[in-house]
Amino acid sequence: AQSVSQHNHHVILSEAASLELGCNYSYGGTVNLFWYVQYPGQHLQLLLKYFSGDPLVKGIKGFEAEFIKSKFSFNLRKPSVQWSDTAEYFCAVTGYALNFGKGTSLLVTP
């Protein structure tokens, strides 16, 4: 079964710092990959997704992710974070349902 691991559980950054959150999945076939964000007290919202094509995917709010098939990775990046990016970030891979990683809690300090 497909599974996802996120390397960083808690990340603290200052505003304007660059962000990279790691995500690796275990599945050798065709996968669809997602990053979701959950702002405090809210539901999950889609940041970006990869189905096929250009491995560099751009999402909302300046986020992007790069699919590297050889490394089974789909890392999330943002060049300059803002305080409003404080949230939980979940990587997910499709299987018979969306399988989520354990999430990364990002705190951006002013």
Partner 1 sequence: DTAVSQTPKYLVTQMGNDKSIKCEQNLGHDTMYWYKQDSKKFLKIMFSYNNKELIINETVPNRFSPKSPDKAHLNLHINSLELGDSAVYFCASTQGTKGVTEAFFGQGTRLTVV
Residues binding partner 1 (CB under 8 A): 30, 32, 34, 38, 42-46, 49, 51, 88, 90, 94-100, 102-103, 105
Alpha carbon distance, N-terminus to C-terminus of the chain: 41
Residue 39 CB, nearest approach to partner 1 (Å)? 12
Nearer CB in complex with partner 1: 64/88: 88
Nearer CB in complex with partner 1: 8/94: 94
Residue 108 CB, nearest approach to partner 1 (Å)? 17
- Say if residues 85 and 12 touch (Cβ distance below 8 Å): no
Nearer CB in complex with partner 1: 43/54: 43
E strands, 1-110, are: 3-6, 10-14, 19-21, 23-26, 33-38, 44-50, 56-58, 64-68, 73-78, 87-94, 98-100, 104-109
Nearer CB in complex with partner 1: 96/110: 96
Residue 73 CB, nearest approach to partner 1 (Å)? 20
Q: Which of 2, 11, 77 lies closest to 33 in space, CA to CA? A: 2
